[in-house]
Chains A and B, each alone.
Chain A
Amino acid sequence: EPEVTQTPSHQVTQMGQEVILRCVPISNHLYFYWYRQILGQKVEFLVSFYNNEISEKSEIFDDQFSVERPDGSNFTLKIRSTKLEDSAMYFCASSEEGGLVTQYFGPGTRLTVT
């Protein structure tokens, strides 16, 4: 069964450093998403991406965040200058279409900022 994959599974970085989290969505999907979950808290939406453009973003997704689909298979989340409060699980998801259609999530990347 096709699945969303994410790398790395765990990333440790120092405050102020840039990190790139990588995702390979399901191959025929057209919509891509990033969510995050701070330890013990709810899963929060960050951004959705379609046709090489951001289609929706939350207040969390400020100027330090960016997303990119650098080739036909990868979808990345970049955090430009990490802060301690960026420590969280980051989940990538994809769907065939936007709106109603089911989103399928990857296993997540645990980001630890020290």
Chain B
Amino acid sequence: DAKTTQPPSMDCAEGRAANLPCNHSTISGNEYVYWYRQIHSQGPQYIIHGLKNNETNEMASLIITEDRKSSTLILPHATLRDTAVYYCIVRPPGAGSYQLTFGKGTKLSVIP
């Protein structure tokens, strides 16, 4: 799987948009970008994933650059409950490898 690079920590004011970057410059054409988060030692929670196009769901938006070498997870109106470690994971589709490889992620602190 391609390696990802994320800043170790970020702060965001409550109610503002949180923009979490991820660099995956070695991503290959069939690899998807996944985002998970982990709130204080709870189980990782799926947020969103995408391949080429930008994606949006009820939790967040995912913006992938045209060259696919980086992406940004956007939480449009951060709340205190969004304080968590956010993981960007790149993995290929299909059979052969089922595991998710978690890095250190970005610790997002939402500040009142």
List residues of chain A with CB under 8 Å of any chain B CB.
4, 31, 33, 35, 37, 42-45, 48, 55-56, 58, 89, 91, 93, 95, 98-100, 102-108
Interface-lining segment among B4-12, B13-21, B93-101: B93-101
Interchain CB contact under 8 A, B98 and A106: no
Q: For the complex, is B76 an interface residue (Cβ under 8 Å from A)? A: no
Instruction: Name the residue of chain A whose CB is nearest to the CB of B96.
Output: A99
Residues of A within 8 A of B99 (CB): 33, 45, 48, 56, 58
Instruction: Name the residue of chain B whose CB is nearest to the CB of A104.
Output: B46
Interchain CB contact under 8 A, A48 and B98: yes
Residues of B within 8 A of A99 (CB): 93-98
Contact residues of A: prevailing secondary structure? strand
Given A42-B103, A100-B91, does the pair A55, B45 have CB atoms closer than 8 Å?
no
* Nearest Cβ on chain A to B51's Cβ, whole angstroms: 10
Q: Per-position contact with A for B30-49: 1 when CB-CB < 8 Å, else 0?
A: 00101000100111111001
* Nearest Cβ on chain A to B95's Cβ, whole angstroms: 5
Q: How far is the CA of A100 from the CA of B92 in the complex (A)?
A: 7
Q: Per-position contact with A for B61-95: 1 when CB-CB < 8 Å, else 0?
A: 00000000000000000000000000100011111
Interchain CB contact under 8 A, B100 and A103: yes
Residues of B within 8 A of A103 (CB): 46, 100
Instruction: Name the residue of chain B whose CB is nearest to the CB of A105.
Output: B43
Give the residue of B41, B98, B101, B104 whose beta carbon is less than 8 angstroms from that of A98: B98
Residues of B within 8 A of A45 (CB): 99-101
Instruction: Name the residue of chain A whose CB is nearest to the CB of B104.
Output: A42
Instruction: Name the residue of chain B whose CB is nearest to the CB of A31.
Output: B98
Instruction: Name the residue of chain A whose CB is nearest to the CB of B105.
Output: A42
Interface centre among B96, B100, B103 (most CB of A within 10 A): B100
Residues of A within 8 A of B34 (CB): 102
Residues of A within 8 A of B43 (CB): 4, 91, 93, 105-108
Instruction: Name the residue of chain B whose CB is nearest to the CB of A100.
Output: B93
Instruction: Name the residue of chain B whose CB is nearest to the CB of A6.
Output: B43
* Nearest Cβ on chain A to B106's Cβ, whole angstroms: 13
